[in-house]
Structure 1
Amino acid sequence: MRSELTTKVAAADPATHLQMPLSDREWQEMAQAIMSSGTAPAAAGDAGALVADRLTITGPSARAIPRRVRRSVAVLAAACALIAAPVGLSLTGRPAGASVAAAGVLDTAAIHATDPPASGDQYWKITTTGGHTATRHETRNASDLSSTWWVLDRTIAYVAVDGARPTYTEWAPGISQRQLTGGPGWSPVPGGTSIETTNLAPNELPGGWQTPNPAFLAALPRDVDHLRDRLYADAQGHGSSVDGEVVVYVADVLRSGLVPADLRAALFQVLKTVPGVDVTSRAVTLQGQLGVGIARTEPVNGTRQEIMVDPSTGLLIGERTVAVEGTSGVPAGTVVTETRVRTTLVNEIPAATKDAAHHAICTAGADSVITCSKAP
C-alpha cells in the first residue's frame, strides 16, 4: 500500500505514470535527504538540476540518485519546498496569485503595452460605451411584478494630456436595448444628450482610483511591489474582500482610458499576484472587439469582475461584471455591467462640442469636496 506522501506526490505530477514507480522506501529516503539538506531543493522546472545523468543531493543523508528517478527527485523537491513554505506563499516568497494561464496573458500584455507619442497640449478622446441592468419592482392588481432591462449609455470625454485644461464630457445615457426578464409594462426612459464642462482642470480635482487624473497617475509607483502595497492599503476595508477590491480598483483605473503604458504594465503584473485571478475566456468579444477575459470570482457576493485585454497591444478593451449566482430578476450568467473603452489622441476639442457645452463654476474645498453651480 502506498504511503500518504507517495500518493500526494504522485497525484501532484500528472507525468508520474510515465516513470518507473518508486517504492515507499525510496520516496521517504529522498524526502528525508531533501528536507535535511543545507541547500535549497531544486524546483521541478529547474533545468540546471536535471542535465546530468546522475543527480546528487547534498546533506547528511545524501546519496547518488539514478537517472531513472531524477524527474521524481525534482518533483519531490518542489513538493517539499511547498510543504516547508508558509501557507499562502509561492516559492518566490510572494503571496500565491493568479493561475498560470492568467499570468501568461498578463505578462504578454505588460510586454506589449505602448502609447502613441503625445504632447501636453493635445487631448485624449476617451469613448466609453457601457451597459448595465436596470430592474424595477412594482405591485399591479395585487401582484408583485418586476422587469429587468439592459440599458446602454455612452460617454465621450476630451481630457488634456497634461491635465492642465478643463475636460469636456458628452453624455448619452439611458437607451433601453432589450428586456431580460419580466412582463410588459415599465421600461427605462432614455435621457437626453448633454455636454458638460467646468472651470477646473483635471489636476485641480481630487484624484483617485475611481476618478484618476494625470497628476494622480503620475504619482503612482511603477515598481510592482510598491504599487501592490499601495493598492492593497487603499482597498483595505472596502468591498467584499481585499483581493476582490484590488481587482475592482485596477478595473476602475484602467476604465478611465488615461493610464500610461508603463503604469498599465505594472498593474498587469500586480494582477498576477492576486489570488483567484484566472482566464475566463481566451476569445471574448466585447462590442465587436476581440480580447482575452481575465477575472476573479468574488465568493461573497456571487459576482465575477472581468477585464478584457488585448495581449498583443497591452490595451484594455473593457471590463464587465457577471452574476455567477442567480438573484431576483437576474439569472446566473447575466452580464450586470459592461464597459468598452477606446482612447485616441486628438489635437483639439471640436468647436461644436465647445459651443454646445453647459459650463459650471466649481470650487475645490480643503476637504476635497467639490461644489459646483451653473455659470451665469
Structure 2
Amino acid sequence: MDDLQLLREMRSDVGTPAQATLARGRNKLLGRIGAGADSGTMPDGGPRRRRVVARRVVLAAAAAAVLLGTLVAVDVVAPGGKPGATAEAAEVLNNAAAAAIKTSDPVVKPGQYLKVDTKAVYASSMTRAQGTTVSWLETQDGQVYVPADWSGEWVWNREARVPTTFFGKESKAEAQRYVASMNSGAGPQLEGVIRGKGGAFYDSPQQILGLPLLEAIKTLPREPRKLLDLIYEKTEGKGQTPESEALVTIADSLRTGVIPADLRAAMYKAAALIPGVIVADRQATLDGRKGVALGILWAEGKARQDIIVDPETGMMIGERNVSLAALDGIPANTAFGWTAVKISVVDSAP
C-alpha cells in the first residue's frame, strides 16, 4: 500500500466542535483527500470538509509541526483474561478515572452557559491535477456555549480558518487557493456565530454512539467492559482497526466537554481495556497545560492517535494525531492535528 492510498483510508472528518460541541468524526485523517469541493454536513452538524484532521489539535502560536519523542513500551495487562492496554497506560487511565470521580463537574445555573473553548490545529491536503498531494496545517478555534437547559439554544462561535504551517512552496500556494475558495461564501457557513436549538447545529442533533446526547449520557453503561463492548458494536467496520476506532470514539465523546464525571471515568476505564494503548508521552503539553498522552498505533503503524489527560483532575486536556512516517509531505514524527479543550461557566453567549 502506497502512502497516498494510506492517507485516503485515514480518518478525516473535522475536529471543530463535535457531537455535543466539537465536530464529531474528528480525524478521518486525510481521508477523501483529493475529493471535490466540500459538501454537505457532518453527522454531528459540522460541515464536511476535505480536511485531514487531527482531532480530533491546538494553539495557533504552536501551530508549527511538533516533533515527538519515542514511545514507552511496558508489559501488557490482561483484565478479565483479555489483553488490554499496557500496564503503565492502564495505571494512568484508572488513576484518571478515580480523579474524575473526585472532581466536581461545573454547576451551570439558569441563565448561564457551559463554555467549551477549543484551540485546534488541523492538517489539510489537496491532490493536484498531476496526481501529487500536498499538505499543510491550519487553525480554526471555536467556542460552544451550552445553556443550563440543554433543550434551549446552543451557540457556536467558529473563528476564521488560518493556514499556519507549510511543507514547501507548493503546499503554501495550494493552501492559499483552498482557503480562498472555502471563504468565498459558497456552501455551509464555516465561520461566525451559528445557533442550534438543543445543539442541533446545521440541523443535525448532538449524538454519541448513534444515540441522542441526553439519552446517551443517561443510558450508556458505566461498567467498563460493557461500555467498551458497546463501542466495538457501534463502530464495527469503521476506522483502521476496532481498537484504534474505539479510542477515537472515546476521545470524540470526551472532547465535547459535557460528559459527566461518572461516564468520563467509565470511558477511561474502558480505554484501559483496549489492546495496544500505551503511554506515549508523560510530559505532553497542549495549550500551555501538561498531561499524560496515551496513544494507539493505526494506519499500519504509520500514525498514532493520542488522548492527553490531566492525571490530577481526570479531565481530558485534548488529543492529537502524530505521523510516524512521512505522509504526503508531512514529515515523520510530526503532530499534524491536535485539539485542546477548556470548559468554564459564563453568564452570557454571543
| 3-state DSSP of counterpart to 1:93 | helix
Letter in 2 for 1:341: V
| Matched positions, count | 259
Bigger relative CO (Cα 8 Å, ≥ 6 apart): 2
Letter in 2 for 1:171: R
One-letter code aligned to 2:80: G
1:154 aligns with 2:141: yes
CA distance 1:151–1:105, change in 2 (3 Å) = same
Is 1:311–2:311 an aligned residue pair?
Answer: yes
Matched position secondary structure for 2:207: coil
> How far apart are residue 162 of structure 1 and its match?
4.0
Looking at structure 2, the residues matched to 231 and 207 of structure 1 have their Cα atoms a distance apart, in angstroms, of 14
Q: Residue 159 of structure 2 corresponds to which residue in structure 1?
A: 172
SS in 1 for 2:117: strand
Deviation at 1:219, TM superposition (A): 2.1
SS for the counterpart of 1:243 is helix
Question: Which one-letter code corresponds to 1:176 in the other structure?
Answer: P
2: CA distance, partners of 1:333 / 1:132: 16
Alignment partner of 1:185 is 2:173: yes
Q: Distance in 1 between matches of 2:232 and 2:133?
A: 38
State the shift of 1:187 in Å: 2.9
Counterpart residue number, 1:281: 281
Following the alignment from structure 1 to structure 2, what is the Cα–Cα distance between the partners of residues 132 and 310? Answer: 22
1:123 equivalenced with 2:113 (yes/no): yes
Q: Residue 283 of structure 2 aligns to a residue in which SS?
A: strand
Map of 1:43 onto structure 2: none
Matched position secondary structure for 1:148: strand
TM-score for the superposition, normalised by structure 1 = 0.63
- Tell me the C-alpha RMSD between the 2 structures: 2.7
Distance 1:211 1:291, change over 3 A: farther
Q: Does 1:134 align with 2:137?
A: no
Structure 2 CA distance for aligned equivalents of residues 120 and 176 of structure 1: 38
Structure with higher Rg: it is 1
After alignment, is 320-329 or 186-195 more displaced? 186-195
Residue 186 of structure 1, CA deviation: 3.4
CA contact (8 A) 2:126 2:135 kept: yes
Partner residue in 2 for 1:196? 194
Q: Deviations over 1:117-171 (max 9, x none)?
A: 51463421001111111233446xxx87754321001111001244221211000
Q: Distance in 2 between matches of 1:206 and 1:126?
A: 15
1:241-256 to 2 correspondences below 5 Å: 241-256=241-256
Counterpart secondary structure, 1:167: strand
Q: Distance in 1 between matches of 2:232 and 2:89?
A: 20
Give the residue type in structure 1 aligned to 2:120.
G
- 1:331 positional shift: 2.3
Name the aligned partner's letter for residue 104 of structure 2: D
SS at match of 2:158: strand
Q: Deviations over 1:301-335 (max 9, x none)?
A: 72211001110110111001111222222222122
Give the secondary structure class of the aligned counterpart of 2:268. Answer: helix
Listed one character per residue, the Cα deviations across residues 163-221 of structure 1 (whole Å, up to 9, x for unaligned) are 22121100013111121334463333374841011345569935224897334222212
* Kept after mapping to 1: 8 A contact 2:209/2:234: no
In 1: Cα distance, 2:215 partner to 2:99 partner = 24
TM superposition score normalised by structure 2: 0.67
Q: Which has the higher helix share?
A: 1
Q: Is the 8 A contact 1:98 1:272 kept in 2?
A: yes
> 1:145–1:101: structure 2 CA closer, same or farther, 3 Å change rule?
same
Change in Cα spacing, 1:297 to 1:210, as seen in structure 2 (3 Å) is: farther
Matching residue's letter, 1:195: V
Distance 1:325 1:340 in 2: 24
Matches of residues 260-299 of structure 1 in structure 2 within 5 Å? 260-299=260-299
Q: Which runs of 5+ in 2 are unaligned?
A: 1-75, 184-189
Classify 1:288/1:220 alpha carbon distance in 2 versus 1 (closer, same or farther; 3 Å). Answer: same
Contact 1:224 1:269 in 2 (8 A): yes
Matched position secondary structure for 1:178: strand
**Contact 2:106–2:345, Cα closer than 8 Å, also in 1:** no
